[in-house]
Amino acid sequence: MEAGNASYEPLPALLSPGGEPDRELLDAIDDVVRDLVNQVLQGEAPRLEPLNQHANSVAISFLSNPLQFTRVLSVLESAQEAALRDGKNTQRDLFYGMKEGLPAGVVGSVQETYSAVNRACELLLMERNRLHITSSSKGLVAGNLSINKDGPWLSGTSTQAGIPIPGDLDVLARMHVRISSNCRCILVVEKDAIFQRLLDDKLFDLVPCVLITGKGVPDLATRMLLRKLHEQAGPALPVIGLADYNPSGVGILCVYRFGALKDAAESRSFRVDCSVPLQWLGVRSEHLAVCDGSESSGCGGAGSRGQARRPLSEADLRLLGGMLRRDAHVPVGSAWREELLVMQAGAVKAEIEAVANWHGPQFAEWVARNVLQRRWI
């Protein structure tokens, strides 16, 4: 357990309590199946319709989309089986279960299975956990905090690879967190590789901080934990982000800051605002100038001139243009918008790894110095 900790309450219980068995879920699935039977008896093509006719989701017709129809029906079957045994399935369990139980060519990719889960949530107007479906752990957290997940306290400064953030939102709801009172910031890191490098270099010894990563686009659990940490720590503890200098990297920071542009059905069902007032630490255009040798880095960088920069692709430019059109996210005159305009004008990008390699062994020191000098926008 960390010394000088501020104790936080458990995350709020956001999930609807299930019965034994979950009658609401079972009745909802029965209603869907009953509708299918009635359609067939009336000579109609079977279709899966939302239980609420005013819902945004559209019906899934067997004739127009037989593969998606079959996948969603398989998800409902798995949810029914899990509810009857009061168990749970991970999304990956569903994928492999469908591969075993359905004809070859029906299942498709892992992402198509996840899409079927979201459509099932929309049909039943229930969040994913109500269908007894959980995500595998994806996000990681480390640094100057301790976590209790129904067991011993885990120290964020002692972990070798980071503490997994539970994908099961029920477990997340019961989790206790303590952040050290000397913590200076919560640092959101886009990539797992950079998270691991900063953890190995013990960034938290250079500047007390909490490190968190969603390993790319964050899942709901990672965003929920970050939001809870921010709410309970208060505005005095800044949330700052470190991502690739490209439209995709900035887009991931925007997911943390504003929320996903199209959240999954479960997020809409929770009606939880997972956004945080994240500030952009890096990588930014001024950091590329340092790597190019235009400025003195002050840290003995080991890289060569210009090695960090790469040209933006056509896809990058389209994504960047779309971001600049969203005035609510990057309003005219904002520092974020000005930085994106610089990126657009220069038509270049850079990965965090290139900047980290340029700074060499002093990368963690460079990050710490920027944090201590509050060099974010």
DSSP per-residue letters across 160-216: SS-EEPPSSHHHHHH-EEEEETT--EEEEES-HHHHHHHHHTTHHHHS-EEEEE-SS
Query: Does one domain contain both 166 and 211?
Result: yes
Q: 280 and 351 share a domain?
A: yes
If one counts the domains in the chain, the total is 2
pLDDT in tens, 336-371: 999 999 999 999 999 999 999 889 999 999 999 999
Please report, for the domain that includes residue 333, its CATH number: 3.40.1360.10
Shared domain check, 264 and 169 = yes
12 inside domain? no
Same domain, 82 and 99: yes
* Residues 250-308: tens digit of each pLDDT: 999 999 998 865 444 444 444 567 899 999 999 999 998 776 654 443 333 444 444 67
Could you give the angle at which helices 352-359 and 192-200 cross, rounded to 10 degrees?
30
Nearest-angstrom CA–CA distance, 96 and 250: 34
Q: How far apart are CA 361 and CA 282, in angstroms?
A: 18
Last residue of a domain, one of 134, 161, 186: 134
| Residue numbers of the domain that contains 276 | 138-372
Could you tell me if 76 and 214 lie in one domain? Answer: no
DSSP type of residue 364 = H
Are 289 and 274 contacting, i.e. CB atoms less than 8 angstroms apart?
A: no
Instruction: Please report the pLDDT score of residue 248 as a whole number.
Output: 96
Does this model's pTM top 0.75? My answer is no
Is residue 7 a part of any domain in this protein? no
Q: Same domain for 185 and 326?
A: yes
Residue 5 belongs to a domain: no
Beta strands in the chain, from DSSP E residues, in sequence order: 5-7, 47-48, 60-61, 89-90, 133-134, 140-143, 145-148, 153-155, 163-164, 176-180, 185-189, 209-213, 239-242, 279-282, 310-311, 348-349
Instruction: Judge contact between 220 and 245, C-beta under 8 A.
Output: no
**CB contact at 8 A, 219 and 134:** no
Instruction: Report residue 41: phi and psi, to 5°.
Output: -65, -30
305 and 164, same domain (yes or no): yes
168 and 58 in a single domain? The answer is: no
Q: What digits encode the pLDDT tens for the residues 127-175?
A: 888 888 887 778 999 999 999 988 899 999 999 999 999 887 778 888 9
Q: What local confidence, expressed as pLDDT, does residue 292 receive?
A: 63
Identify whether residues 45 and 176 lie together within a single domain: no
197 lies in the same domain as 256: yes
Look at residue 223 and tell me if it is in a domain: yes
